[in-house]
Chain A
């Protein structure tokens, strides 16, 4: 009994003692930056913890002195002996060869040092200073080889176009990369960036061959965070953001509008005795004395608020024991639109464009036995988007019509409000305030449930290094849209002969009614099983192997299910860690091709040489810390060829326009015609990809330089022949796999970092990417002159005339090549170059005049400075070799009765001939007219450099943090799209609609508070 008591007391005392010694510290890397998630293990108890994002940790030990093992992937493991409860910091040294760092590759992970494909990745730590509603918009400039283009800022519809190394095919149906979230092809726009652990992009054949017919355009793999061995850590972050447009088009107001209108009227041959706007009207527009009869409306000012708020809040719990690890997170996003909220409220509802999203994720790993891990990853997302009126989906519909009309409606057409407060009538009964608020609204809901179940089994008992894993995935997406509509009334205001106001009603008010509903659901299942093998022999031979099977099926809407099936294999060999070889094989296919032609075989081979592992290097060039050369070559496919499904089937017939006989519609005879002509040999595109890469680090790893150069050739591009005469009488001839295209370029990444003192460190770096494609073959009608040919030129290159200034006199016109194909030419018109020298301007004088929409060169410069508790990150991002063909409302005057813009003030008149920057004005701008031909005048250089991102963070010092009872506290101020340098001023140069009238890109100013406890 006594013994028992003593034993128990000792037991409790020992426990007490264990609890009493809390060691606190901080782990930093050799660049002076705190390391997040470095592992701290008490050697004695084998218990441990991880550092937080500030590199801080707290660990309990039984007694002092204690031994702590500190490790971090890619760094040399360090065991320290601790004699005091407060150690200042542990500095880890990164491994010379980075042998430990692991990166995500197709169907697995690999050691960075020994992998030989062109793969780059970015971790969430690098993205955390770019908090955007859409994670893909944070990738701009971050990853060499990834080209991003954000073409709209609509909340919930602002995803960037993502391309790896530009365009590899001119078939627009399949140009974008395969995107995987946790190993599965999924929607990714709505992944919350707090969930993201890592984003890898796979660029060459070696990296993507395992994906076979899905891999030719490159692959983006998003991996979410998982639990770690640690006491539960709770992280809370709150982002408050203000959004405002980057650059809106600038239109002229009533006085200038009517002055220019009169001028255009005279240019068009109008009678000067009957001017459209008389002197009285011009005076009223000038002095604004009669805003109802002579209004001056600026829709941008009327409808848009200076800035719109966005809120994002996240709570994450992360931790784990050796048996159970967990990562739980929840995020709420509330992004408001730019419309003035006081205008969008009407009769109890609010139509302001709004996007709200909840993201939940639970990633659990449970060790069933020492050798078996069962993982369950669940993600649920729920998004709601509100758009005014009948906006049909997340990005089109009424919101675009709104921008269209804001750009179109003349400023003097009608007052926004009449004197009696009623809405002024513009076209018919339209008024934009009525359109945004009084036509009802559409709610779009989207719910995503994604579940991964993974089982990993080590099979070392069979043969060391062997393991098995299987994955079962079930995703379901449900979309629901509902619309409430009403009509509204606006009034034409005028004065009658007696000067009394007259209000003419337009349209009618109706009650809000439920008018439309749409549902769409998708069910996606995916199964994957694989054997992994990894073993080293005799200390110098290292093998890894992968054999994998997957099957993927998606049922969506009412169509036939989409099925994919495949096998993948990988084998790597490293000799003494310096000579590397790798083979990747994909054997897979889709149901979209004919039997016997469904599966394709896609091999790729690569090799690498880790030169710094050679003994002689140390002696000859000790300043080189790391040098690796790699080569890869292989074949990948792209089954995403567009067109309709099952092209291989025989010609199928379907409904065509029929006809009605009889005196009414009662005797309608349906129509039937060969809708879809088949091609029995239809197949996927084949890409032959080659890559040479160099990875290097110098001067104790303070300078790193990576360089990749690639050449891709794409065969079997599906196209509709353009050389089939119309006499065949069939507009949709069967598509054929005959197109060919090449794509080549390089990526350079440089980074330099330096710690100048204990408190001060900085890094500077950047990347520069170049990709140029060339159409090698496409069916093309005979072109009499080489400059007219599309073959041999780049995809998306612009064609048209070469503008050579303006005609200044009739004499000049008569001496110049004959441009009468565009009607009567007068002074002030654009003159074009006669390329074929035949004395007249026609189609034969159209050549390539501008860069494609997608930039060929993209680059970014990043700069980070840390001083004591402050961190400053700055990123500039730029693109060049890109142009925009401006037309219609984006550039022309009075197009479709639309407005005139600032740039029209530079128009040609006899008096301003010498300095004119714009041709003479007309009211009849149209594609048939001389000045509105596609020409170099309208092709504008859309290159830009952006101050893309600035982030200033302050990490509260340990003393304050401890007083607050938390582990870490950080405040950040970030701003995005702060300033843009571009020669193109008419609207944001990243927008790619020629009319420029879309929801603009946003500038954001963000305040974040981030704490861990």
Chain B
């Protein structure tokens, strides 16, 4: 009996253990207190310190539009500069996205420069800020107003980036919530495309509004440089109006649009110069060490480092091959003395010395055979010693230049300094203005010559002025040529040729390079030309394809651009 009693005790004790276990476990599965105090939207838009970071994230999406990210980063794939997708250049590596596109693969399934997704993500960030920032109370109303205008300006830029690629696009101006994702009703997220007119009108109205409220630009040394300001919004409008007037988006050839564009760009130039913008006196450092301080640069994408650029875009001796400028582009550089195109009679061009006496911007934009750069002698010639060529004498045949040249613009010849990617600079505005003014009028205007000649007269470039006597058609040609030279590799060419509807001609057919030869006996180079690639370009590529995945998800609401 006593024995039994003990065991009952044991049993009760054991039950006790279990109950104790169970009772301890009442909150055993409740996560740590700190888990539930996670950062919610309400908490973010409670204090200015946190809320401003939402604007920071909206700005952060600018990185997607940096040309450096084409090669260095991962936001736009293809691992080639956008220049290599155009007649400006090619890439050493034949497997890169630019070769695929220029060999004919560019469609709704394959587009290395597709920005559809990233643009709408940037837009959501702007919308998020706009919808919620009024809840923040620990900051003055003026700052809220200004930053809202910044967000709207950014959003307008992102929409412009969509417009210039795809034409009219859906205009999302609110933050879509996730209720439909949770419930499975995703139809509400689908919106049809707006027309080109509606899209442009929206961006224009937005830019007009923000221009009224945005502060003027600050000196380059100021802490706020890089923020959306009045000079930027006005300049963006100038660019927008130029695109809207261009043949691609102006099928009715309305000259009024050119006139609007001229006016907008005039306003842009005036605004910028009023606050101190001026052409910088060194065309090389403008894109390297001075890219953070030159007043010419109206807006940039901040880049912490472009250093890997110096190896990736440089010559194989440095590490790898990279972007190789084509003769299709290089031939645009005029003769320095005569100011004539190299093919013009009496230009003074010597095919045996193709780099001699050319527009100084050529020597500042490309590295030529035999040039010493960062301690290495650039050796792209076909034959013994041609370490940077695609010949037997190179250790890196696949890295060698196709054209006997490589990039120099953006590359730091000395210490690898941080540099920014230029988004808008004053020279572009002059060229925008000159183009719009010329296209919008039956005869040439003195102001157009003045604008383009201002760019040519830059200190250190000092190209002869374009004679005021030439015809309107010739002037258009000269302005377009000047644009090609001045804005080389800055991601303009890809869109300029499209909006002019000349891409089908310019981007197709033979691409030319120098097959550089070196005669050891005479120590002389020769520069025979050869076509290294026959490119394809289809006229419907002028507008980018909307990604097929989005067409599929839209259940018929999104309509693809014609031809795809």
Residues of A at the B interface (CB closer than 8 Å) are 261, 268-269, 271, 274-278, 280-281, 413-414, 427-428, 457, 459, 461-462, 468, 470, 492, 494, 497, 527, 529, 531, 549, 551, 553, 560-561, 563-565, 589-591, 595, 598-599, 645-646, 649-654, 656-667, 669-674, 677, 679, 681, 721-731, 733-734, 736, 738, 779, 781-783, 820-824, 842-843, 894-897, 923-926, 928-929
Task: Tell me how far the C-beta of A222 lies from the nearest C-beta in chain B, rounded to whole angstroms.
Answer: 25
Complex CA–CA separation, A658 to B186 (angstroms): 30
Complex CA–CA separation, A497 to B384 (angstroms): 8
Q: List 19 A-B contacts (CB under 8 A).
A: A269-B534, A414-B395, A591-B28, A591-B30, A598-B29, A599-B29, A646-B31, A653-B41, A659-B59, A661-B302, A672-B53, A724-B180, A724-B186, A724-B553, A725-B553, A726-B120, A727-B120, A924-B103, A929-B105
B172 to A, closest residue via Cβ: A727
A673 touches B105 (CB 8 A): no
Knowing A529-B17, A842-B109, the reply to whether A649 touches B35 (Cβ < 8 A) is yes
Pick the contact of A734: B39, B54, B128, B181 (CB < 8 A).
B181
Complex CA–CA separation, A728 to B520 (angstroms): 63
A276 to B, closest residue via Cβ: B397
Task: Tell me how far the C-beta of A668 lies from the nearest C-beta in chain B, rounded to whole angstroms.
Answer: 8
Residues of B at the A interface (CB closer than 8 Å) are 3-4, 7-8, 10-11, 14, 17-18, 21-22, 24-25, 28-32, 34-36, 38-41, 43-44, 50, 52-57, 59-63, 93-97, 99-101, 103-105, 107, 109-110, 116-117, 120-125, 127-128, 170, 172, 175-176, 178, 180-182, 184, 186, 189-191, 220-227, 292-293, 302, 304, 319-320, 382, 384-385, 387, 390-392, 395-399, 418, 515, 520, 530, 533-534, 536, 547-550, 552-555, 558
| A723, A729, A896 — most chain B CB neighbours (10 Å) | A729
Knowing A492-B395, A842-B109, the reply to whether A653 touches B43 (Cβ < 8 A) is yes
Task: Tell me how far the C-beta of A255 lies from the nearest C-beta in chain B, rounded to whole angstroms.
Answer: 13
A653 touches B121 (CB 8 A): no
Query: For residue B382, which residues in chain A have a CB less than 8 angstroms away from its CB?
Result: 274
Query: For residue A281, which residues in chain B have a CB less than 8 angstroms away from its CB?
Result: 392
Knowing A461-B7, A673-B57, the reply to whether A725 touches B109 (Cβ < 8 A) is no
Task: Tell me how far the C-beta of A587 lies from the nearest C-beta in chain B, rounded to whole angstroms.
Answer: 12
13 additional contacts, CB 8 Å, given A529-B18, A591-B28, A653-B41? A274-B382, A413-B395, A560-B35, A649-B36, A661-B225, A661-B302, A673-B125, A726-B116, A729-B124, A782-B553, A822-B105, A842-B109, A897-B396
Knowing A560-B31, A672-B57, A923-B94, the reply to whether A653 touches B40 (Cβ < 8 A) is yes
A659 touches B28 (CB 8 A): no
Knowing A923-B95, A926-B100, the reply to whether A527 touches B21 (Cβ < 8 A) is yes
Query: For residue A661, which residues in chain B have a CB less than 8 angstroms away from its CB?
Result: 223-227, 302
B56 touches A670 (CB 8 A): yes
Task: Tell me how far the C-beta of B40 lies from the nearest C-beta in chain A, rounded to whole angstroms.
Answer: 5
Pick the contact of A662: B8, B43, B222 (CB < 8 A).
B222
Query: For residue A657, which residues in chain B have a CB less than 8 angstroms away from its CB?
Result: 57, 60-61, 63
Knowing A591-B30, A653-B44, A726-B550, the reply to whether A662 touches B120 (Cβ < 8 A) is no
Pick the contact of A821: B38, B105, B125, B182 (CB < 8 A).
B105
B21 touches A529 (CB 8 A): yes
A672 touches B515 (CB 8 A): no
Pick the contact of A729: B30, B31, B109, B172 (CB < 8 A).
B172
A667 touches B17 (CB 8 A): no
A663 touches B293 (CB 8 A): yes
Complex CA–CA separation, A413 to B394 (angstroms): 9
Query: For residue A564, which residues in chain B have a CB less than 8 angstroms away from its CB?
Result: 29
Complex CA–CA separation, A923 to B321 (angstroms): 15
Complex CA–CA separation, A503 to B137 (angstroms): 67
Task: Tell me how far the C-beta of B186 lies from the nearest C-beta in chain A, rounded to whole angstroms.
Answer: 5
Query: For residue A413, which residues in chain B have a CB less than 8 angstroms away from its CB?
Result: 395-396
Task: Tell me how far the C-beta of A295 lies from the nearest C-beta in chain B, rounded to whole angstroms.
Answer: 10
Knowing A497-B520, A565-B25, the reply to whether A843 touches B109 (Cβ < 8 A) is yes
Pick the contact of B124: A662, A666, A728, A822 (CB < 8 A).
A728
Task: Tell me how far the C-beta of B157 lies from the nearest C-beta in chain A, rounded to whole angstroms.
Answer: 13
A725 touches B57 (CB 8 A): no
Query: For residue B120, which residues in chain A have a CB less than 8 angstroms away from its CB?
Result: 726-729
Complex CA–CA separation, A822 to B25 (angstroms): 62
Complex CA–CA separation, A665 to B382 (angstroms): 44
Complex CA–CA separation, A462 to B12 (angstroms): 11
Pick the contact of A658: B60, B190, B418, B549 (CB < 8 A).
B60
Knowing A663-B225, A670-B53, the reply to whether A677 touches B178 (Cβ < 8 A) is yes
Query: For residue A271, which residues in chain B have a CB less than 8 angstroms away from its CB?
Result: 530
A783 to B, closest residue via Cβ: B552
A551 touches B550 (CB 8 A): no
Counting from the closest, the 5 A-B pairs by CB-CB distance are A729-B124, A672-B53, A659-B59, A928-B100, A671-B57
A730 touches B124 (CB 8 A): yes
Query: For residue A529, which residues in chain B have a CB less than 8 angstroms away from its CB?
Result: 14, 17-18, 21
A823 touches B117 (CB 8 A): no
A660 touches B40 (CB 8 A): no
Complex CA–CA separation, A878 to B547 (angstroms): 43
B191 touches A658 (CB 8 A): no
Mostly, the A contact residues are: loop
A925 touches B95 (CB 8 A): yes
Pick the contact of A673: B4, B54, B104, B222 (CB < 8 A).
B54
Complex CA–CA separation, A345 to B34 (angstroms): 50
Query: For residue A654, which residues in chain B have a CB less than 8 angstroms away from its CB?
Result: 39
B121 touches A730 (CB 8 A): yes
Task: Tell me how far the C-beta of B139 lies from the nearest C-beta in chain A, rounded to whole angstroms.
Answer: 14
Query: For residue A677, which residues in chain B have a CB less than 8 angstroms away from its CB?
Result: 178, 181
A413 to B, closest residue via Cβ: B395
A651 touches B40 (CB 8 A): yes
Query: For residue A591, which residues in chain B have a CB less than 8 angstroms away from its CB?
Result: 28-31
Knowing A459-B11, A821-B107, the reply to whether A659 touches B182 (Cβ < 8 A) is no
Task: Tell me how far the C-beta of B533 lies from the nearest C-beta in chain A, rounded to whole angstroms.
Answer: 7
Pick the contact of A589: B4, B29, B117, B549 (CB < 8 A).
B29
Complex CA–CA separation, A591 to B29 (angstroms): 4
Complex CA–CA separation, A659 to B59 (angstroms): 6
Task: Tell me how far the C-beta of B538 lies from the nearest C-beta in chain A, rounded to whole angstroms.
Answer: 9
A923 touches B398 (CB 8 A): yes
B40 touches A728 (CB 8 A): no
Task: Tell me how far the C-beta of A426 lies from the nearest C-beta in chain B, rounded to whole angstroms.
Answer: 8
B128 touches A821 (CB 8 A): no
Knowing A457-B14, A527-B21, A842-B109, the reply to whether A671 touches B223 (Cβ < 8 A) is no
A662 touches B225 (CB 8 A): yes
Query: For residue A659, which residues in chain B have a CB less than 8 angstroms away from its CB?
Result: 56, 59-60, 62, 226, 302
| A461, A462, A656, A725 — most chain B CB neighbours (10 Å) | A725
Query: For residue A280, which residues in chain B have a CB less than 8 angstroms away from its CB?
Result: 392
Query: For residue A468, which residues in chain B have a CB less than 8 angstroms away from its CB?
Result: 11, 14
B38 to A, closest residue via Cβ: A652
Query: For residue A497, which residues in chain B have a CB less than 8 angstroms away from its CB?
Result: 384-385, 520
B14 touches A897 (CB 8 A): no
Pick the contact of A823: B63, B100, B186, B220 (CB < 8 A).
B100
A671 touches B53 (CB 8 A): yes
Query: For residue B100, which residues in chain A have a CB less than 8 angstroms away from its CB?
Result: 823, 924, 926, 928-929
B549 touches A897 (CB 8 A): no
B25 touches A551 (CB 8 A): yes
Task: Tell me how far the C-beta of B246 lies from the nearest C-beta in chain A, rounded to whole angstroms.
Answer: 27
Query: For residue B550, which residues in chain A have a CB less than 8 angstroms away from its CB?
Result: 725-727
A727 touches B170 (CB 8 A): yes
B181 touches A736 (CB 8 A): yes
Pick the contact of A738: B14, B41, B184, B319 (CB < 8 A).
B184
| B38, B385, B418 — most chain A CB neighbours (10 Å) | B38
Query: For residue B385, which residues in chain A have a CB less than 8 angstroms away from its CB?
Result: 497
B191 touches A672 (CB 8 A): no
Pick the contact of A660: B128, B186, B221, B226 (CB < 8 A).
B226
B549 touches A669 (CB 8 A): no
A671 touches B60 (CB 8 A): yes
Complex CA–CA separation, A703 to B536 (angstroms): 71
